[in-house]
């Protein structure tokens, strides 16, 4: 499995993904699930992926190919499309087509074996910053002020902390804490989500990736935060009246 | 859906269930999901149910009928079976048989539409206190010192807090806090789990239900705990170093 989460705040977007991929419990690998397409200052597009690696890798390769194709135009290239909505549509169509083709290759198995979803975040100069969750069928939903975060993969363990602390006015610094704590809860409760992590921040109107950090298993900062949070929870728990 | 959780501690067992049942999103009802069979001082058996209401109600009715049957014996009646293991076996067989029959009645639909699982806790005088999770097929697993809690239904939202604070040596008072906070996280993040709640405590070697409490939506104690926990989490979050 996978856990990817993105927050859309007044100040920008924060994205976090794990890197664990498994084909069965005895075949575990590390694969990047966060990708950027960037023309700094003009547009930035971040994509996170969950689900069948064969689907997501092929879909991303096709998105990439379409950008560099001789006849790339604004209906096929996410680097030429004029709006984030059209970018999400291109990505959704590519994902859906890839998923259908691969699912067709093993009709005997469950279709879910070839499922995949994506989170797409970004901004074009002059446009709004937007955040989408793209379903396996290519349709998508968008984050709003009421629901400023989107998750794919193993989303349940890490949702309570987000429900409690994330608001559109949350700062980018607090947002990074929130997604890391959400991931920490998921890592502790589910083996199929694993380190290292990829964390990225896109500040509003900058149209470029600001912070981009890979957090390794032995990252002292993340370990300290994880330990401090456990300690804080235990202390709060002990002090809690019954 | 449902959320039921039970902890098996050195000091006894704590059980908590919600009461929301839904057949579609527009047909929501309140049904008890926690049941006791008791011969105080001799044996106590607690059962919590998740899944198809038609399966769990029928299975429980059959368990009940088998107790009062003229020919009830230790292989059919959970009030006569000599050990908790045999009690779990009787319950598992009844659940599996009921589920198979009902699933057979709508072969066209997914079998999962008639799935159900149970948590069974209890003790017989002279025996150990035990806690089982019974799968739809009737097989079961048991809580151990390494994994002192079992959950059925919407278990993911409320697992992180249990992973962090529950140990076999946790007191019964702290255990009640832990399951209520685990439920609180679930209630906030998932609409298909709903108040009121049923909370029960069985102290070790008493072979009777000690505390039994229904917690209503407006329960001041639960609301205060929920608010205090939110506040504690937010405060810890703000103080957390990044």
pLDDT tens for B168-187 read 999 999 999 999 999 999 99
Q: What is the C-alpha separation between A238 and B5, in angstroms, rounded?
A: 20
Q: What is the pLDDT of residues B84-108, one digit of tens each?
A: 999 999 999 999 999 999 888 877 6
Higher pLDDT pick, B35 / A22: B35
Residues 148-167 of B with CB under 8 A from A: 154, 156-161, 163-165
Using CA atoms, how far residue A93 sits from A34, A76, A136, in Å, is 19, 10, 10
B109 pLDDT band, cuts 50/70/90, is low
Chain A residue with CA closest to B224: the answer is A241
Across the interface, whether the CB atoms of B189 and A234 are under 8 A apart is answered no
- List phi, psi (to 5°) of B67: -65, -40
**Tell me, what DSSP letter sits at residue B33?**
-
**Tell me, what DSSP letter sits at residue B43?**
E
Q: What is the C-alpha separation between B67 and A70, in angstroms, rounded?
A: 78
Q: What is the C-alpha separation between A120 and A111, in angstroms, rounded?
A: 23
Contacts of A126 (CB under 8 A, 6+ apart): none
The answer, yes or no, to whether ipTM is higher than 0.85 is no
In the structure encoding, which two tokens stand for residue A186, read together? 């998921």
Measured over the CA atoms of residue B138, residue B144, residue B147 and residue B151, the dihedral's sign is positive
List chain A residues with pLDDT less than 50. Answer: 111
Chain A residues with CB under 8 Å of B235 CB are 236
Give the DSSP H/E element, type plus range, for residue A176: helix A172-189
User: What's the mean pLDDT in B12-29?
Assistant: 87
- Of B43, B134, B42, which Cα lies nearest the Cα of B88? B134
Looking at residue B114, what is its pLDDT?
A: 79
User: What does the DSSP assignment read for B137-187?
Assistant: TS-EEE--SSS-EEEEES-STTHHHHHHH--TT--HHHHHHHHHHHHHHHH
Using CA atoms, how far residue A79 sits from A130, A203, A211, B2, B157, in Å, is 15, 19, 21, 46, 38
- List phi, psi (to 5°) of A240: -60, 130
Chain A interface includes B191 (CB < 8 A): no
User: What's the mean pLDDT in B208-226?
Assistant: 94
Chain A residues with CB under 8 Å of B238 CB are 174
Across the interface, whether the CB atoms of A157 and B161 are under 8 A apart is answered no
Q: What is the pLDDT of residues A98-149, one digit of tens each?
A: 999 988 887 766 545 678 999 999 999 999 999 999 999 999 999 999 999 9
B241 pLDDT band, cuts 50/70/90, is confident
User: What's the mean pLDDT in B68-89?
Assistant: 96
Across the interface, whether the CB atoms of B156 and A157 are under 8 A apart is answered yes
Across the interface, whether the CB atoms of B176 and A242 are under 8 A apart is answered yes
Looking at residue B81, what is its pLDDT?
A: 97
Q: Is the pLDDT of residue B142 over 90?
A: yes
In the structure encoding, which two tokens stand for residue A155, read together? 């989303």
Looking at residue B205, what is its pLDDT?
A: 97
Average pLDDT, chain B: 93
B36 pLDDT band, cuts 50/70/90, is very high
Chain A residues with CB under 8 Å of B154 CB are 156
Chain B interface includes A173 (CB < 8 A): yes
Report angle CA B65, B4, B203 to the nearest 5 degrees.
80
Looking at residue B108, what is its pLDDT?
A: 62
B125 pLDDT band, cuts 50/70/90, is very high
Chain B interface includes A25 (CB < 8 A): no
Nearest to A157 among B159, B165, B235 (CB): B159
> Helix, strand or coil for residue B202?
strand
Cβ contacts below 8 Å, chain A against chain B, sum to: 100
In a mutational test of the B interface, the residue from A7, A153, A160 whose CB has the highest number of chain B CBs within 10 Å is A160
Closest Cα in chain A, distance from residue B184 (Å)? 9
Looking at residue B110, what is its pLDDT?
A: 56
Nearest to B189 among A160, A165, A173 (CB): A160
Chain A interface includes B185 (CB < 8 A): yes
Chain A residue with CA closest to B176: the answer is A242
Q: What is the C-alpha separation between A50 and A153, in angstroms, rounded?
A: 6
Across the interface, whether the CB atoms of B232 and A242 are under 8 A apart is answered no
Nearest to A241 among B160, B225, B233 (CB): B225
Q: What is the C-alpha separation between B165 and A124, in angstroms, rounded?
A: 46
Across the interface, whether the CB atoms of B189 and A237 are under 8 A apart is answered no
Give burial (CB, 10 Å; 0-12/13-18/19+) of B227: exposed
What is the set of domains in chain A, with CATH numbers? 3-239 (3.60.20.10)
């Amino acid at each position: 499995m996978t856990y990817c989460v993105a927050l859309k705040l007044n100040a920008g977007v924060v994205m976090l993904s794990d890197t664990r991929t498994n084909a069965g419990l005895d075949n575990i690998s590390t694969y990047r699930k966060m990708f950027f397409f960037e023309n700094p200052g003009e547009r930035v597009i971040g994509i996170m992926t969950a689900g069948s690696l064969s689907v997501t890798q092929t879909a991303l390769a096709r998105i990439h190919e379409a950008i560099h194709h001789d006849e790339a135009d604004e209906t096929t290239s996410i680097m030429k499309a004029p709006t984030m909505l059209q970018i999400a549509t291109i990505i959704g169509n590519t994902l859906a087509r890839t998923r259908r083709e691969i699912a067709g290759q093993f009709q005997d198995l469950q279709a879910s074996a070839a499922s995949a979803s994506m989170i797409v975040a970004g901004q074009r100069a002059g446009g709004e910053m937007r955040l989408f969750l793209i379903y396996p069928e290519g349709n998508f939903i968008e984050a709003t002020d009421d629901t400023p975060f989107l998750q794919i993969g193993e989303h349940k363990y890490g949702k309570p902390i987000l429900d409690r602390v994330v608001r559109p006015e949350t700062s980018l610094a607090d947002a990074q804490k929130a997604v890391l704590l959400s991931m920490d809860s998921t890592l502790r409760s589910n083996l199929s989500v694993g380190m290292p992590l990829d964390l990225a921040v896109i500040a509003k109107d900058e149209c470029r990736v600001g912070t981009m950090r890979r957090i390794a298993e032995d990252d002292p900062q993340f370990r300290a935060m994880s330990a401090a949070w456990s300690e804080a929870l235990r202390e709060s728990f002990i002090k809690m009246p019954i």
